[in-house]
Structure 1
């Protein structure tokens, strides 16, 4: 196996992922901002009901599927960098979204649509279960939606990169079944249907307002995009970047391809500087 890409800086990356994830768990124990309770507000007067997608099922879908896909792809390609970068990009994106969502939930303190049913308002204060009431104050943004889109948007970018479906120069041979653009697009967008379904269940279960779901979905998608682009090529790029290949991020880990491009860029910049200096001399 090729270890030329390996750099000790990746250890710092993994440590930061663990730190982000650990900090996100701390918010569970931090006091939540307590908004005033409007007992006559119909927006928070819905019935409290079981989740269609509980926590275990959410982790199985939003975490298990992307991890399995990365493992299968790495084994198929026999690539250690594929495995490392895929897992690092995924775990960093999901840890980042958990950190952002946990912070916002506690600071905003928005009441869930089923808050009054949790609260059991007696005219002066809540008499319901304390843990249910506390969770009822953490509606914005939707953690389920954010986690679902962090996982499924990661797969969307991953599949887009591997299938090369959004580039103008497909890498597959013509007349091959893999050259079908519509097939590649269908594979690429399929994870988004799952994340959208999970987000919609949060509205159906009266666990979130529509704004909670929209913002949570955007946080998950943006976190996934930011972290994916750190470790992989742009799946929408029209440049000469090789499609579907992990990036050797750190200087000591540059591939020969990266070194050649860097040298070409330096040569071009030097030529421009020489032309500018020549023009200044003539003036």
Structure 2
């Protein structure tokens, strides 16, 4: 059977009836065979490798544009002292920022499985985290390469040497640059290390900030869903503290870049926006909701899964895929209450079809082979 053969609903030859669908057995809390797991994620893994290769290629490429910049006014004063800071070591190196944004969330997600005990929840959490981190990284390296900008220490690593080639007889000014009154120059006047100069021309956006917010905002969303912080009951204060600890960490990582003069504030803000954007997108791809407290903890399946149920109780129920036991959560009872402006208004199964209308899929004749069931919904 070919890997790329399409399995349609065509009638079986000579019978006039549709052949049986091809299914993947799917149990929410059970670890599948390695082959079955690989069949569901191989395209993701391949995409990650390709994106990683593209990102590294762009990262190591020299800056694309030729940039003009002023150095001195005619009286010798530095035009932009904000680009004349000394080169210092990062307080938090980029490798450490990426490590903290990936390993800490994975470690916490793994610890949560002590209570959740769901293979597919852990799979979706880790894969979603990697979605956010890798896509955000590639997004920002392209911006650095094509847009970039001068880092705060650009002039220090450039070490400009402006040649004295004489005075213009009309203006009386040194005729060594370009632009108005020849005060603009390109990197050809730099005498510093080529690698440092290339890096100092790629300030926007901040890669540290992008990685930190992509990974730690994703962790924030995961903690909110699994601890049910914004939910149908009033939790204890420690949950709010735990929820915002990742945001504090991301902000500290990003803010450190303005202290060691590696980035301007707008580089940091742009990186935070990019990272947050990919964290939100990746989480929604892997879970049923971002903010609706009733099912933002529900990992989504992939493909034509037989035996997948949006049930809220039992061995394979999603009602127990949380790390709290308050208000009936973790016991298949926490989703019995709706809230205004959620995906359905009122109690589950109320106006608009409730959760049944949101999660049911397939045909309307109730055929088991093509419907995602919702158990316990009336």
Instruction: Identify whether the pair has TM-score above 0.5, normalized to the shorter chain.
Output: yes
Deviation at 1:6, TM superposition (A): 5.2
Give the corresponding residue for 1:212.
Answer: 267
* Structure 1 gaps, min length 5: 171-178, 268-283
2-structure distance, mates of 1:253, 1:140 = 47
Q: Name the one with the larger helix percent.
A: 1
1-structure distance, mates of 2:220, 2:131 = 16
Contact 2:40–2:302 under 8 Å retained in 1: no
Cα 1:265–1:131 change in 2 (3 A) is same
Contact 2:283–2:290 under 8 Å retained in 1: no
Cα 1:7–1:127 change in 2 (3 A) is closer
Deviation at 1:103, TM superposition (A): 0.2
Q: Are 2:251 and 1:196 equivalent residues in the alignment?
A: yes
* Equivalent of residue 288 in structure 2, options 233, 237, 243: 233
Give the corresponding residue for 1:274.
Answer: none
| Aligned-residue CA RMSD (Å) | 2.6
Contact 1:67–1:87 under 8 Å retained in 2: yes
Q: Are 2:314 and 1:250 equivalent residues in the alignment?
A: no
Deviation at 1:73, TM superposition (A): 2.2
Give the corresponding residue for 1:90.
Answer: 129
Bigger CA drift: 65-74 or 244-253?
A: 244-253
1-structure distance, mates of 2:56, 2:246 = 26
Question: Secondary structure of the equivalent of 1:8?
Answer: helix
Question: Secondary structure of the equivalent of 1:154?
Answer: helix
2-structure distance, mates of 1:27, 1:87 = 25
1-structure distance, mates of 2:149, 2:106 = 32
Give the corresponding residue for 2:227.
Answer: 163
Question: Secondary structure of the equivalent of 1:257?
Answer: coil
1-structure distance, mates of 2:310, 2:115 = 23
2-structure distance, mates of 1:35, 1:43 = 17
Q: Are 2:215 and 1:151 equivalent residues in the alignment?
A: yes
* Equivalent of residue 62 in structure 2, options 1, 20, 31: 31
Contact 1:161–1:234 under 8 Å retained in 2: no
2-structure distance, mates of 1:142, 1:254 = 45
Contact 1:110–1:139 under 8 Å retained in 2: yes
Question: Secondary structure of the equivalent of 2:305?
Answer: helix
Contact 1:104–1:141 under 8 Å retained in 2: yes
Contact 1:233–1:247 under 8 Å retained in 2: yes
Give the corresponding residue for 2:116.
Answer: 77
Give the corresponding residue for 1:67.
Answer: 106
Rg comparison, structure with higher value: 2
Give the corresponding residue for 1:115.
Answer: 154
Deviation at 1:55, TM superposition (A): 2.5
Contact 2:210–2:271 under 8 Å retained in 1: yes
Deviation at 1:42, TM superposition (A): 1.7
Q: Are 2:113 and 1:49 equivalent residues in the alignment?
A: no
* Equivalent of residue 22 in structure 1, options 31, 50, 53: 53
Give the corresponding residue for 1:275.
Answer: none
Contact 1:140–1:212 under 8 Å retained in 2: yes
2-structure distance, mates of 1:97, 1:251 = 29
- Deviation per CA, 1:75-119, whole angstroms, max 9, x where unpaired? 543321122111110111100011000000000031101100011
Cα 1:254–1:6 change in 2 (3 A) is farther
**What is the TM-score normalised by the length of structure 2?**
0.63
2-structure distance, mates of 1:106, 1:72 = 38
Give the corresponding residue for 1:273.
Answer: none
Deviation at 1:63, TM superposition (A): 1.7
* Equivalent of residue 276 in structure 2, options 198, 221, 226: 221
Deviation at 1:186, TM superposition (A): 1.8
Deviation at 1:22, TM superposition (A): 2.0
